[in-house]
Amino acid sequence: MSCASLAKGLLDLDVARAQMIAAAEVVQGEESVALDQAFGRVLSRDLTARLDMPGIDNSAMDGYALRVSELGERGLPVVLRVPAGAAVSTLPEGGCARIFTGAPVPTGADCVIPQERVTLDDEGCIHVSGEARSGANIRCRGEEYRAGDALLPAGSTLNAPALAMLASQGIAEVPVLPRLTVALISTGDELIEPGEPCLPEQVYNSNRVMLKALLEQASCEVLDLGIIGDTAEALHAALTTARDSADLVICTGGVSVGEEDHVRPVLEALGGVVFHGVAIKPGKPFAFGFLDDDSAKGVPLIALPGNPVASLVGWQFLARPFVHGCQGRSVEPLQKFSVRAGFSRRASPGRRELLRVVLDWQHGLPVAFIAGGQGSHMLRAASQAHGYLMMAADTDVEEGHEYPYLPAGQFVG
């Protein structure tokens, strides 16, 4: 998008995202955690395999282990029974072994025939239907990797399959980066917490529970500093406490340019603003800066809008990649593909609009439909949407035409 097409003073989304990613510095240190406590953590060092995988030649299924060269019209007698966990045995010439999934293939056998293709005659000999091929249905020792091979590189996020792989190596503890500690601040005199009596002029604090869940999902340690009143003095005190207690500060509300919006002037007094305002809808009043401390760069601060859907969009597109960068994770490009619009809509001047949509499949192709109300305060559509349809600035959506679609699943974790 040309800068000339942006609303005055606003930063392009792609530029803002790139600046956030470039500014992220990996949290320093290392700790060792038990494998069953390591889900979502980030490896601090490369890991190599301790064992061959598989450790022995073993059967891929229940069946019969034999030498292909010994198959003929006459059946082969069953001379061994090999369950999983048995020691490696030797297959006598002229016989076969009844074998089970995961059991060690006897020395001398070069094929496992699935039990579905085998019949037993009255004398207990097997007869095989179909072709028998040397090496069939045998998992060979070290076919996945050998001891000493690279297993996982530093920076890997430990998901469930990765944990299972490490467990299969007998690894009980892993070296990981420390959790990123994030101080979370909500601003607004109108805010109260769920469960409290609500006056007509008050609003329940939905951002706090949403962002706390998103931060915890991203494996962050959350320091919840609660609701701060709409005064510069209260915000100054809260940001000072947050700066001295956390690796990153995230606040919501008070980031626009009204008389009661104190985030920018207080941030400028305590540190500095990198940018303020992004050309997206919802999510325009997003700010990024640093709070001065004893370090060279200070403590980063992300100021999200007060409207909850705008706050969610700001997290997903800008704050989340910054957090991942600070955690040492690789930050992947946004996933997009084209879908047809099942609706028409007028464009927003000077800003890309991220419409919350659901997909319906028509004639084998995905078609996007508006999920519900698109106001930045309307959470129902955001909670039900499958993803976002991205409208270019100053370009209407026309029903039946194709537009970029970003699946919501990419923003999980």
H or E element at residue 207: helix 206-217
Does the residue 96 lie in any domain? yes
**Shared domain check, 214 and 76:** no
**Shared domain check, 311 and 230:** yes
Residue 3 has pLDDT above 60, yes or no: no
**pTM for the whole thing?**
0.87
Q: Which long-range contacts (CB under 8 A, 24 or more apart) does 223-229 make?
A: 223/181, 223/182, 223/183, 223/184, 224/184, 225/183, 225/184, 225/185, 226/185, 226/186, 227/186, 227/187, 227/188, 227/191, 227/192, 227/193, 228/185, 228/186, 228/187, 229/187, 229/189
**Shared domain check, 299 and 242:** yes
**Shared domain check, 111 and 78:** yes
The per-residue pLDDT for range 307-341, each reduced to its tens digit, is 999 999 999 999 999 999 999 998 999 999 999 99
Residue 4 has pLDDT above 60, yes or no: no
Give the strand pairing for 337-341 and 365-370: parallel
The predicted structure's pLDDT at residue 8: 60
**Shared domain check, 113 and 68:** yes
**Shared domain check, 320 and 202:** yes
**Shared domain check, 185 and 321:** yes
Q: Which of 36, 37, 46, 56 is nearest to 167 (CA)?
A: 36
**Shared domain check, 320 and 185:** yes
Residue found under tokens 């091929």: 133
Of all residues in the chain, what percent carry a pLDDT higher than 90? 88
Of all residues in the chain, what percent carry a pLDDT higher than 70? 97
The per-residue pLDDT for range 143-188, each reduced to its tens digit, is 999 999 999 999 999 999 999 999 999 999 999 999 999 999 999 8
Which of the two residues, 256 and 299, has the higher pLDDT score?
299
**Shared domain check, 125 and 261:** no
Answer with the one of 155, 176, 197 that is the final residue of a domain. Answer: 176
Domain housing 69: 58-139
Answer with the one of 271, 304, 326 that is the final residue of a domain. Answer: 326
For residue 393, the domain's CATH number is 2.40.340.10
Give the strand pairing for 352-362 and 387-391: antiparallel
Are the beta carbons of 110 and 133 closer than 8 angstroms? no
**Shared domain check, 199 and 152:** no
Counted domains in the chain: 4
**Shared domain check, 319 and 184:** yes
**Shared domain check, 182 and 311:** yes
